[in-house]
Amino acid sequence: MAKSTRATAALDKAGISHGLHAYDYSADVDSKGLAAAQALGITPTRMFKTLMAWVDKQPLIAVIPSDQRLSLKKLAAQCGGKHGQMMEVAEAEKRSGYKVGGISPFAQQRPAKVVFASSAQQHDTLYINAGQRGLLLDLSPADALRFLQASCADICED
């Protein structure tokens, strides 16, 4: 398994401190984020998943805790739109340059606006996909938000 990806290289170039954590990835689980959290022995609220969506034909990246579900209605409202929908797998892989199960919000092929769940700021560190299945990175939420020029909002289902 490669220990460097486009995401980690971009963070290294920006001088952003992060850790790397490999785990045994399985495509045959209901929740890849929850499985990753369990494999690393961390709480699911600190394991964030990257979701690709559309809001009124604009691509968006939503980053939410692995134990939560994205509210497309809240995401659309947060972004000043009317209609949100999940991106199809093939389009998400094409736009991000990563395979589903390994999509990172960092160093995507075609960057888009990024919105983190507001709970991201409650943690000292977050775990997020490093751009490869079975490889996660940890970093401070402040560094992630600053690097991605991301916002935080209430985008999860109640």
pLDDT at 2: 60
pLDDT band at 116 (very low <50, low <70, confident <90, very high): very high
H helix or E strand, kind and range, residue 85: strand 84-86
70 within domain boundaries? yes
Is residue 106 in a domain? Answer: yes
pLDDT exceeds 70 at position 26:
yes
The domain tally of the chain equals 1
The residues facing 136 across adjacent strands are: 21, 129
pLDDT of residue 33: 83
Residue 30 lies in a domain: yes
Mean pLDDT of 17-26: 92
- Given a cut of 80, whether residue 1 has pLDDT beyond it is no
- With respect to residue 65, please indicate whether it lies within any of the assigned structural domains: yes
Is 135 inside any structural domain? yes
- Structural domain that includes position 63: 19-153
Q: Assign residue 91 the CATH number of its domain.
A: 3.90.960.10
Q: Report how far apart the first and last C-alpha atoms of the chain are (Å, whole number).
A: 37
> What stretch of H or E contains 116?
strand 113-117
**Whether residue 73 has pLDDT greater than 60:** yes
Q: Are the C-beta atoms of residues 132 and 5 closer than 8 Å to each other? A: yes
Residue 50 lies in a domain: yes
Q: What is the mean pLDDT of the chain?
A: 94
Taking alpha carbons only, the member of 150, 155, 153, 106 closest to residue 132 is: 106
Whether residue 10 is contained in a domain is answered as no
